[in-house]
Amino acid sequence: MYKAVFLDMDGTLLKSDHTISDATKETIGQLTHQGIPVILVSARPFDAILPYVRELSTSHYPVVALNGGYIVLDDQPIFQAIIDAEMTAGLTRELKLFKNTTAYYLQREWFAGVDDEWIEHEQQIMDVRIKVQPIEELVKEWADHKTGPNKMMVMSDRGSIDLIQAHLKSIYGENLNIYPSKPTYLEIMNPAASKSNAVRFLIERMGLDRSEVIAMGDNYNDKEMIRFAGMGVAMGNAPDEIKEAADYVTDTNNEDGVRKALEKLIWGKE
């Protein structure tokens, strides 16, 4: 029997209009009423996840933000992994070689050197206003406090993202997690920060085995989480590579794929 569910948000739990269907909310409510935790796992910052946690009444469960770089329980961080200031400075220098906009996320704050259309698009899903300032000054401040961002997100056109990813991987190799969350977004994190590591960390705290959990997602940053879970589910709108990594493929995010998968896998409904 499955004893916990880990859900990606954008492209999975959320429809394209960033809402959760009433049918899916009802199914999740039934699960939590039965004592099965439903844990949101997202690339979003914590404050951009919180409204959905409240909507689903799952605030007593952990929240995995920033692709596993920041995990919160009862409004207190229980895990975080950072990119140290020296490496952040190096990444910032390398990114100047390419056309892009980069956002830097630390716990509940986010920063950028410019406020452009990429930032404004992200601001629409954020409850916290971005802090725009020279990044070199910010990195120096982080160095003084021996900290750094939980995540950097590079935004550009698809071709540039491919080039940036290849370039950064050639320099940083296995020292960073570098992968796209969608064709125009590249996520950069400490190797300890990933959705799969977050699931592993939380099920150890909960005393569960990986065979007892379901993980559901739709994109490249969900791939290892889907592989790790006892039942890895890919959305119908996921790329073929993600579907191939899954144990089960459900319907799309706009066609109640989450609800359909949960009802089939937990209650045997067709």
Q: Which residues are catalytic?
A: 8
Strands 76-80 and 101-106, bridge-based pairing: unpaired
Which amino acid would we find at residue 258? V
Cβ–Cβ < 8 Å for 165, 104: no
Burial label, 125 (beta-carbon count in 10 A; 0-12, 13-18, 19+): middle
160 phi, psi to nearest 5 deg: -65, -40
Residue 94 CB coordination number (10 Å):
15
How far separated are the first and last CA of the chain, in Å rounded? 17
Beta carbons within 8 Å of 129's beta carbon, 6+ residues apart: 123
